[in-house]
């Protein structure tokens, strides 16, 4: 017997091995094996298939051992991973490894899974009255009669009694005449805040759920567009409850930072032990244990971050991607994949319903909805009918706005208006959040008078300041100009603004000496525990002001917060990234969603040098549609996604080596470009990281297929880079740093 194996190494492609007769029964699809590879006698491999014949002229070697007692990957997962390996141009072994929980990777093998939870079928109340109406559906009638006679029975028993029971039962469930339940979930823990009872849906929610229900059983992607607080999560919960009643499993992907105890708690409160949670805050043994519960079928609902797209849930009926626009769904290190995009592929493989939820969908997803590939469901209002918070914009440029608190330099970037609002909020006994998307490695070069920052005319992304050479550089194409002290637009003084959360924290303390202020960023909190404890103190109202980065922007629900201040919106606008405007709009919308979750109305203040920027002006009026319209038009003009595809090629090595490799890649790409266009090679925005020099090349093309010839030409160079640097391919790149 022959077996096709992906080896856990940085190589593309798969390898064929012989299976010794003694191992044959154990070598099954999705298990790990030990195989000789190169000079290693026992490399880990993943069993992907059983070819009839071996490639010519290859001396076959034997599988050395089988590492697992059961397959770690189900057949649909193997298909999903193979699709991903091919599309993302990554080594398959690395991808299969990334799909497993880290605890399992370290161990020798997994223990055998126990039988999965028993499922029961039962008639619904009042079903007896519907028997006569089933005259034309004899199979359904037989099943319902059986259930009415026997009550709640294990599904196995029903199947044994009536061989064709399953489709009939599914039809009965759809008609609301029968239900299917997994072994009763454990009662919700006493510490869970949410009430487990499902509320009656609003008309908009009910319409969305009905559309999802109607689609059940076939691949159907939906975009669920609804502002924060419009009840999206409740729609997910009820759609999952229906799927579970049909015996189907569910996958819920949430952003890294969105997987708060609150959200996990809501799922646990509704579904109890049927929920397994997978995220990086768990210890490896905890993660392994949760993974095993899913693999064994003891839990059929997985709530997790990015890598949970590979969770071993069988027979998935619903896949939810909450905050689908969030950047954390893109894996940046190791095998670069996008979990939201893989969710589309997995939903197709599993014939599942896909719910992509967001208040500010990515333009890729919006465009798919506009072209009719996804069905659009809207929740236009907040559940409680509360209005969206009022957003006020303060112009920081001296010429138009009057600038910052010049009289009190210790207040830093806090404008007189922001200072006033902070004081008022504290005096009213309410809480404030101050948000700053700080970039630790860069200062922002702006004109103090007019606020102008420079953009590359070819690429339309912000130029980045380099202190060492004192130039402004485009990190897409390499264009570069010296920095002059005067603003080329108005003649005013340009300044490098160094801003960070620490300075803001100091400013708040100077302004409000009695207030309880805490900072939340990667420097201030180190682990998930720290983060949770600061958030818990804030939730208990033991803190008045929370100053932080992205970490404060998402997912949390603090009823006491009535003021959200964005200290400097321009930091994210200035990112050298074609998505800078989109990300800024999304961030502002998220942040604004934090205000006024309780009884009091919320206020949002945004400070900026660019009040006229659509990303800021549309956030002020909560106008996603207008923002998206303008942004899509601009993307079309410059052929950026969703109008076309991109591929990034990242190079890392010594200073001379990275440059040489990048230049060689550029030369190799040129004759292969076809319909693709090349930007660069250019130094990456993070030019040095962990002692390595970084370069990149960007390719734009009308479709993914047009990037293939470029990849083929570059792969030859990447295999033997002349400068000895490491080369990584990144399809549909997200971070441009
Ligand atoms: P989103 O996910 O869109 O932010 P949620 O589903 O979290 O919205 O709903 C916001 C709040 O409203 C939550 O506290 C939730 O419990 C509550 N809620 C949602 N739907 C309903 C409903 N139909 N009736 C009453 N309360 C609801
Ligand atoms: Zn450029």
| Nearest residue by C-alpha to atom 14 in ligand 1 | 229
pLDDT at 689: 73
Q: Any residues with CB less than 8 A from the CB of 737 and at least 6 apart, and which?
A: 575, 576, 577, 684, 685, 686
Of the bound ligands, which one is closest to the alpha carbon of residue 682? Answer: 2
pLDDT at 591: 79
Tokens of 341: 């995009």
CA 615, distance to chain mean position in Å, is 21
pLDDT at 441: 40
* 456 annotated to bind ligand: yes
Cα distances (angstroms) measured from residue 406 to each of 96, 107, 124, 403, 511 = 56, 60, 70, 7, 14
The Cα angle at residue 425 between residues 424 and 426, in degrees rounded to 5? 95
- Rounded distance between C-alpha atoms, residue 709 and residue 32, angstroms: 33
Specify the long-range contacts of residues 332-337, CB closer than 8 Å, at least 24 apart.
332/734, 332/735, 334/94, 334/98, 335/84, 335/85, 335/88, 335/90, 335/91, 335/94, 335/95, 335/98, 336/88, 336/90, 336/728, 336/729, 336/730, 336/731, 336/733, 337/84, 337/88, 337/90, 337/95
Contact 59, 15 (CB under 8 A): no
Quick check: helix, strand or coil at residue 194?
coil
Separation of CA 270 and ligand 1 centre (Å): 14
pLDDT at 575: 76
Separation of CA 384 and ligand 1 centre (Å): 8
* 618 annotated to bind ligand: no
Contact 504, 567 (CB under 8 A): yes
- Rounded distance between C-alpha atoms, residue 463 and residue 480, angstroms: 8
* 459 annotated to bind ligand: yes
| pLDDT 10s digits, 414-471 | 899 999 999 999 999 999 999 887 644 445 677 777 767 777 877 777 777 776 777 8
CA 619, distance to chain mean position in Å, is 22
pLDDT at 277: 92
pLDDT at 115: 36
* 447 annotated to bind ligand: yes
pLDDT at 596: 63
The residue whose CB lies within 8 Å of the most ligand 1 atoms, and thus the one to mutate among 229, 596, 624, is 229
* Residues having CB within 6 Å of any atom of ligand 1: 199-202, 205, 226, 228-234, 383
Contact 397, 608 (CB under 8 A): no
* 474 annotated to bind ligand: yes
Contact 436, 508 (CB under 8 A): no
pLDDT at 600: 67
Quick check: helix, strand or coil at residue 455?
strand
Separation of CA 625 and ligand 1 centre (Å): 23
Say which residue the tokens 């029964």 belong to.
25
Tokens of 561: 């917060």
- Rounded distance between C-alpha atoms, residue 237 and residue 405, angstroms: 47
Of the bound ligands, which one is closest to the alpha carbon of residue 209? Answer: 1
Separation of CA 555 and ligand 1 centre (Å): 13
What is the ipTM score, two decimals? 0.97
Instruction: Give the chain's residues under pLDDT 70.
Output: 103, 105-118, 156, 160, 163, 183-196, 257-261, 398-409, 438-444, 451, 467, 495-499, 522-529, 552-557, 594-600, 737
Contact 444, 574 (CB under 8 A): yes
- Rounded distance between C-alpha atoms, residue 234 and residue 209, angstroms: 10
| Nearest residue by C-alpha to atom 20 in ligand 1 | 231
Q: Which atom of ligand 1 is nearest to the CA of 557?
A: 14
Tokens of 506: 């100091």
- Rounded distance between C-alpha atoms, residue 615 and residue 627, angstroms: 7
* 302 annotated to bind ligand: no
Separation of CA 721 and ligand 1 centre (Å): 54
Separation of CA 316 and ligand 1 centre (Å): 25
- Rounded distance between C-alpha atoms, residue 49 and residue 53, angstroms: 12
């Amino acid at each position: 017997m022959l077996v096709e194996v992906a080896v856990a190494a940085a190589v593309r492609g798969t390898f064929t091995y012989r299976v010794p007769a003694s191992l044959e029964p154990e070598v099954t699809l999705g298990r790990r094996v030990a195989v000789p590879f190169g000079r290693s006698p026992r490399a880990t491999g993943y069993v992907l298939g059983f070819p009839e014949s071996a490639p010519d002229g290859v001396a076959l070697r034997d599988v050395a051992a089988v590492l697992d007692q059961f397959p770690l990957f189900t057949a649909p997962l193997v298909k999903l991973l193979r699709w991903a390996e091919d599309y993302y141009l990554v080594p398959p072994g690395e991808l299969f490894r990334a799909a497993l929980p880290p605890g399992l990777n370290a161990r020798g093998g997994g223990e055998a899974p126990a039988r999965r939870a028993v499922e029961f079928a039962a008639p619904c109340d009042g079903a007896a009255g519907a028997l006569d109406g089933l005259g034309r559906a004899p199979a359904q009638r037989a099943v319902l009669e059986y259930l009415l006679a026997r009550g709640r029975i294990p599904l196995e028993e029903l199947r044994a009694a009536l061989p064709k029971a399953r489709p009939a039962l599914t039809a009965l469930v759809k008609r609301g005449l029968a239900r299917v339940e997994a072994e009763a979930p454990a009662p919700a823990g006493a510490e869970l805040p949410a009430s487990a009872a499902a509320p009656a849906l609003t008309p908009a929610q009910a319409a969305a759920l009905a559309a999802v229900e109607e689609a059940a059983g076939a691949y159907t992607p939906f975009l669920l567009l609804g502002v924060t607080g419009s009840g999206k999560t409740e729609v997910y919960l009820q759609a999952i409850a229906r799927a579970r009643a049909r015996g189907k499993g569910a996958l819920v992907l949430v952003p890294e930072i969105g997987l708060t105890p609150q959200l996990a708690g809501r799922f646990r409160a509704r579904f109890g032990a049927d929920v397994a949670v997978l995220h990086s805050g768990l210890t490896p043994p905890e993660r392994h244990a949760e993974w095993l519960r899913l693999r064994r079928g003891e839990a059929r609902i997985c709530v997790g971050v990015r890598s949970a797209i590979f969770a071993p849930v069988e027979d998935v009926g619903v896949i939810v991607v909450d905050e689908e626009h969030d950047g954390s769904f893109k894996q940046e290190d190791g095998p670069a994949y996008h979990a939201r995009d893989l969710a589309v592929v997995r939903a197709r493989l599993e014939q599942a319903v896909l719910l992509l939820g967001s208040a500010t969908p990515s333009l890729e997803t919006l465009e798919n909805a506009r072209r009719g590939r996804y069905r659009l469901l809207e929740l236009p209002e907040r559940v409680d009918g509360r209005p969206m918070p009022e957003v006020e914009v303060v112009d920081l440029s001296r010429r138009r706005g009057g600038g910052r608190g010049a009289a009190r330099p210790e207040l830093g970037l806090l404008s007189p208006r922001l200072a006033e609002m902070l004081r008022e909020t504290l005096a009213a006994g309410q809480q404030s959040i101050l948000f700053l998307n700080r970039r630790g490695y860069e200062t922002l070069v702006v004109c103090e008078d007019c606020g102008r920052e420079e953009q590359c005319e070819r690429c339309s992304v912000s130029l980045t300041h380099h202190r060492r050479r004192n130039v402004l550089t485009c990190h897409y194409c390499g264009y570069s100009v010296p920095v002059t002290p005067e603003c080329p637009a108005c003649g005013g003084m340009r300044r490098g603004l160094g801003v960070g959360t620490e300075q803001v924290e100091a400013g708040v303390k100077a302004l409000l000496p009695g207030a309880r202020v805490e900072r939340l960023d990667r420097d201030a909190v180190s682990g998930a525990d720290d983060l949770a404890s600061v958030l818990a103190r804030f939730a208990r109202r033991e803190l008045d002001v929370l100053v932080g980065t992205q970490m404060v922007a998402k997912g949390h629900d603090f009823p006491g917060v009535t003021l959200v201040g964005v200290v400097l919106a321009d930091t994210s606008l200035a990112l050298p990234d074609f998505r800078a405007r989109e990300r800024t709009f999304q961030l502002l919308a998220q942040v604004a969603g934090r205000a006024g979750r309780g009884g009091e109305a919320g206020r949002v203040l945004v400070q900026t040098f660019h009040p006229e920027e659509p990303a800021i002006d549309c956030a002020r009026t909560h106008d996603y549609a207008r923002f998206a319209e303008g942004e899509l038009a601009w993307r079309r003009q410059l052929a950026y996604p969703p109008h076309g595809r991109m591929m990034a090629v990242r190079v890392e090595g010594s200073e001379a080596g990275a440059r040489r490799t990048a230049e060689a890649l550029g030369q190799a790409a040129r004759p292969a470009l076809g319909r693709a266009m090349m930007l660069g090679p250019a130094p990456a925005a993070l030019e040095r990281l962990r002692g390595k020099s970084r370069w990149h090349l960007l390719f734009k093309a009308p479709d993914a297929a047009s990037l293939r010839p470029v990849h083929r030409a570059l792969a030859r160079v990447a295999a033997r880079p002349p400068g000895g640097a490491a080369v990584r391919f990144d399809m549909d790149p997200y971070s441009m740093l």
